[in-house]
Amino acid sequence: MTTFTITIPDERAKELKQIAERFRIAPEELVRASLEELLTRPLDEFQKILERVLTKNADLYKRLA
């Protein structure tokens, strides 16, 4: 497991603690859960379409460059 250390403004830390208190969890757990949600969220439809188009037309874009 990897550990990250981040610096956030005092006002954001205060907000983080308040939200964590509402959920009755530690601020660190709230950050961990939020990060997990961000990393596991499926790509939205636009991103999927964009990737498909870019992949499909990659050779054409290289020739035009």
Phi/psi at 42 (5° precision): -65, 155
* In contact, 30 and 20? CB cutoff 8 Å: yes
What CA–CA distance (Å, rounded) separates 3 from 41? 22
* Confidence (pLDDT) at 40: 78
Domain boundaries, the chain: 10-64
Answering whether pTM is above 0.85, one says: no
Summarised one tens digit per residue, pLDDT across range 13-26 is 999 999 999 999 99
- Name every residue whose Cβ is closer than 8 Å to that of residue 26 and which is 6 or more positions away in sequence: 20
Sorted by sequence, the CB contacts under 8 Å of residue 61 that are 6+ apart come out as 54
